[in-house]
Amino acid sequence: MASLYRRAVDEVVPVSGFYHDNYLVQRDGVIYVVRVNRKLDEPDVEPRMYAEAAVLAALRNADIAAPDIFHDSSEHGFTVISYLPGQRIADLYPPGTQVPDSLIEFIGSTMSKLYRVERETLGTMLRQSPWPRAAGEDAFLPSLLSWLTKVYESASVAEKGCMRALGLPTNPFDDRRFSLDNIQRAFRLCHGDLQRENILAAPGELYSLLDWEMAVWGDPLWDVASHMHRAAYPPDQEQSALQRLLGSCPNGTSSASDHHAYDVYLKVEQYRSLVLDCARSLRVGGAWNDITRAREVARYHRKLVKAGIERLSQAEVLSVFERYWNIRIKDREKRGR
């Protein structure tokens, strides 16, 4: 497999994701994907639990439509996985638009099948995982909040100022804001990044899931909430999708406690997105043209509204971002003198 890696980086133009460069390489009539870790300009802010290669290996016996792992060379920063045909759902059905009912059924069925994965098959937890190795299920949310608090605290003074100006609370991941009753649900493997970008559709309504690097052993209601936030279903499809996915939890009770847990997890994911998107937009948005700025600000404003933060109009959100973009530009100019 080392020869595939060499051919990939020497001869092939990659399809780049945020954390990987993916090279399609053919050998003996078979297409492989050589997945190479990207060198990030900034620290990785995503909470991880297991190596993606170990997760893909564990999925083999669970009848999950995911890539096969052929080679793991994590010490050299790459893996080799199978190529899955199809188009990304995000390209076929952009966020905010309806998706086929068959897709929602596929996601619900996959969530049910994830209970077949045994935790022991996932290997050793990553050293940088925010979750303690011997911690019980009650530690899932507090550990996630503690990690996200560190991410928030790593933001610059200007970035935190922009977040507050947009309406986010100071210390948005304060654990006093998010409390759960005793968890009675069975935990399972959770995809952790189940958005439209990571789902492929092939002819005949055949779907598959990509990018398992964020997979964690966690509360299934968190996985549902994370998906509902990231998938951005339109209002007329949102409730039916939610009910189907909540039905994938075999011991879910539809109790007030379960609904409260879902609401808590959804709020965590909404705040997480608002914090990360604000920081990333400030860091790169100074170079955006007016059309890109308007599009990204409209998207951010929709997220604010979804999270119940409706203090500012879309025009006012743009004004806040422009003010902080100008501050960053002036700071760079001063440093360049």
With respect to residue 9, please indicate whether it lies within any of the assigned structural domains: no
With respect to residue 5, please indicate whether it lies within any of the assigned structural domains: no
With respect to residue 183, please indicate whether it lies within any of the assigned structural domains: yes
With respect to residue 141, please indicate whether it lies within any of the assigned structural domains: yes
With respect to residue 25, please indicate whether it lies within any of the assigned structural domains: no
* Domain harbouring 149, CATH code: 3.90.1200.10
> pTM of the prediction?
0.91
Share of the chain above pLDDT 90, in %: 72
Q: How far apart are CA 179 and CA 188, in angstroms?
A: 21
172: nearest Cα among 261, 303, 285, 268: 268
pLDDT at 5: 78
pLDDT at 252: 62
Number of folded domains that form the chain: 1
- Strand spans (E) along 211-315: 216-218
With respect to residue 292, please indicate whether it lies within any of the assigned structural domains: yes
With respect to residue 23, please indicate whether it lies within any of the assigned structural domains: no
The domain in which residue 102 lies consists of 42-336
pLDDT at 41: 65
Q: How far apart are CA 223 and CA 245, in angstroms?
A: 10
pLDDT at 335: 60
Q: How far apart are CA 83 and CA 96, in angstroms?
A: 28
How many CB atoms sit inside 10 A of residue 178's CB? 18
Average pLDDT per block of 10 residues along the chain, 337 residues long: 78 78 89 85 81 95 95 87 95 95 97 96 92 84 95 94 96 91 86 96 95 95 96 95 92 76 96 95 90 95 95 96 84 59
Q: How far apart are CA 337 and CA 335, in angstroms?
A: 6
- CB contact at 8 A, 162 and 312: no
With respect to residue 2, please indicate whether it lies within any of the assigned structural domains: no
Residue 212 tokens read as 């398992």
pLDDT in tens, 38-91: 776 666 788 999 999 999 999 998 999 999 999 998 777 899 999 999 999 999
- CB contact at 8 A, 9 and 24: no
